[in-house]
């Protein structure tokens, strides 16, 4: 049995990624990693993410870990792991702990894929996993920086989600891919009903 599913979304090829994202932008922790119209080799893919199963944030030294209610049956974090994540001073290490606890090993994912998707595993820049942002003030958790700047923005210093599904658009081939962890079906995290594998 495959740990993840990769499927082409031929029904969306006529829709621009920006427009497709607008259909899920209202969902919790939606992200659009847009490669713009840059034609460089590192700008081939757009990645659409929404409804993570878990989020990890740090604001002014206070860490917060949330498991989404609809994911509690298949994403379990015991109190010891939770405490370890929340007390870790380095948010990048804490995120790695969360990621490693929730996500299957990449080698297991690859070996479980049907042969026709093996090359896509290597080609696509992201399948499922953690994505988010680390602001300038996240550097304070790694090194000594000048005292706090004025709080100009109402955003965490560090905020990441763990995503069990994604939509990836290949700008070269004009092809969309739906990538989903097998647990996504159990959770029912689908922004579009027709994406269920």
CATH code of 149's domain: 3.60.120.10
Highest mean pLDDT among 12-26, 107-121, 180-194: 12-26
Confidence of residue 188 (pLDDT cuts 50, 70, 90): low
Q: Collapsing DSSP states into helix, strand and coil, what is residue 63?
A: strand
pLDDT score at 73? 82
Residues 6+ apart with CB under 8 A from 178: 5, 6, 7, 8, 9, 165, 166, 167, 195, 197
Mean pLDDT confidence for 147-152: 66
CA-wise closest residue to 71 among 166, 181, 178? 181
Q: What are phi and psi of 158, to 5 degrees?
A: -150, 130
The 10s digit of each residue's pLDDT in 80-100 is 999 999 999 999 999 999 999
Q: Is the pLDDT of residue 132 over 90?
A: yes
Domains in the chain: how many in total? 1
User: Counting Cβ atoms within 10 Å, is residue 59 exposed (0-12), middle (13-18) or buried (19+)?
Assistant: middle
122-126, 131-135, 159-163: range with lowest mean pLDDT: 122-126
pLDDT score at 66? 96
Mean pLDDT confidence for 103-110: 80
Mean pLDDT confidence for 123-152: 82
Strands lying side by side in the sheet with 158-163 = 62-67, 54-59, 158-163, 129-134
Confidence of residue 186 (pLDDT cuts 50, 70, 90): low
Residue pair 131/31 in contact by the 8 Å Cβ criterion: yes
Q: For residue 93, what are the domain limits?
A: 4-195
Average pLDDT, the chain: 85
């Amino acid at each position: 049995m495959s740990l993840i599913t990769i499927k082409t979304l031929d029904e969306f090829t006529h829709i621009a990624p920006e427009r497709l994202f607008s259909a899920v932008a209202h969902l919790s922790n939606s992200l659009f990693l847009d490669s713009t119209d840059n034609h460089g080799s590192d700008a081939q893919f757009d990645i659409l993410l929404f409804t993570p199963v878990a989020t990890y944030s740090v604001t002014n030294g206070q860490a917060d870990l949330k498991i989404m209610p609809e994911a509690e049956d298949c994403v379990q974090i015991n109190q010891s792991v939770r405490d370890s994540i929340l007390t870790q001073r380095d948010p990048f290490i804490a995120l790695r702990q969360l990621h490693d606890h929730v996500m299957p090993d990449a080698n297991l994912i690859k070996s479980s894929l049907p042969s026709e998707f093996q090359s896509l595993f290597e080609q696509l820049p992201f399948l499922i996993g953690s994505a988010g942002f680390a602001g300038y003030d996240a550097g304070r958790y790694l090194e000594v920086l000048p005292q706090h700047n004025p709080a100009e923005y109402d955003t965490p210093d560090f905020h990441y989600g763990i995503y069990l599904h994604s939509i990836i658009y290949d700008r070269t081939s004009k092809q969309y891919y739906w990538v989903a962890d097998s647990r996504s079906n159990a959770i029912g995290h689908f922004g579009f009903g027709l994406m269920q594998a």
